[in-house]
Structure 1
Amino acid sequence: MSVRQGPQRRAPRKSAVVPDVPADSQRLDNQLCFAVYAAAHAFGRAYRALLGEHDLTYPQYLVLLVLWEEEGLSVKEIGTRLFLDSGTLTPLLKRLEASGRVRRARDRADERQVSIFLTDAGRALREPLACIPDQAGGMTGLDVEGRRALLDHLVTLRTGLHDGTDA
């Protein structure tokens, strides 16, 4: 004799807990990440205009900034400073070398290590490009104190995000 039971009750499905958040938190204009992303693109366009007459891209300019501080760094050291991997950095360095602005030299003790040095042409760009940070900064609509405060906040943001992804 079979006994018919009522409908089987399934265990409730475990789903991701979605906290109660105001609907405004889902608006694009309220996304910090989007504001940073869009600002980075705007900076890219501004720097493209400022660096165009020197036939430089923004990433190439960043490499020059690093080398003006210290020459002879390895590709890995430059990549660490710029948060770029060697797969991105190597072609960029080859283009800078082809344009006569840097030279690459293999380490005699370890052939796998490549150090980067400025050429005279790369060093000569430092003076004419010295105005670029102030020109770009002036395009932001922020005064010098505002730009410094924003820089401090962005460094804190980057550090926090970096540390958070390492956890």
Structure 2
Amino acid sequence: MDVFLRKAVEQMDESIFDRALDQQLCFEVYRASNGFSKMYGRALKPFQLTFPQYLVLLALWDADGVLIKNIGERLGMGIGTLNPIMTRLEKQDWIKKTPSLGDKRSVIVSLTEKGKRSKRDIALSILKEISICNFTGIEGETLMKQLKILNRAFAAMEGRPQ
């Protein structure tokens, strides 16, 4: 566990809430999340994709032709959130949905040709935005490891698979 978090847990008193806004971890995570959303929004705009739609495409680029419930599990999205995203992706010809042969209530989601061939162009658009943002001084691998630890802790608190 990170030294900052370990100290906060050990103290477990109200003094951790006496910090100024710009000293709150939750605020910095919130701001970073907003920044990522805006950056990806700019990169995805030429493709008429939203960030959640892009996440679905990422999941399908990892494993194509999977059950919709598996995508939801990977992304941490409920079916109520995922269905409108899938409907729009299908209308825009990024994906196709077909009933599962094994279970007629289940739906298999696959990439269309557009979804397959656009991966590189989307990646280049994102790389362009990343280079504009100039993330000098940020150690991406370290940040990723720390975020994974944090997300595993949140999943454990909720009793979800990690």
- TM-score, length of structure 2 as denominator length: 0.82
Q: Aligned AA for 1:47?
A: Y
After TM superposition, the structure 1 = structure 2 runs for residues 149-164 of structure 1, keeping only pairs within 5 Å, are 149-164=142-157
Higher relative contact order, structure no. (Cα contacts within 8 Å, ≥ 6 residues apart):
2
More helix by share: 2
Matched, 1:105 2:105: no
Q: Indicate the SS of the match to 2:119.
A: coil
1:28: which partner in 2?
A: 21
Shift of 1:140: 5.5
After TM superposition, the runs of 4+ consecutive aligned structure 1 residues lying more than 6 A away are: none
Q: Indicate the SS of the match to 1:130.
A: helix
Give % identity. Answer: 32
Matched, 1:46 2:53: no
Q: Indicate the SS of the match to 1:127.
A: helix
Root mean square deviation of aligned Cα: 2.1
Contact 1:137 1:147 in 2 (8 A): no
Equivalences, count: 148
Contact 1:24 1:30 in 2 (8 A): no
Report the structure number with the largest CA radius of gyration.
Answer: 1
Structure 1 stretch 130-139 or stretch 154-163: which is displaced more?
130-139
1:141–1:83 distance in 2 versus 1, CA, 3 Å: same
Query: Which residues of structure 2 form unaligned runs of 5+?
Result: 1-11
- TM-score, length of structure 1 as denominator length: 0.80
1:29–1:103 distance in 2 versus 1, CA, 3 Å: same
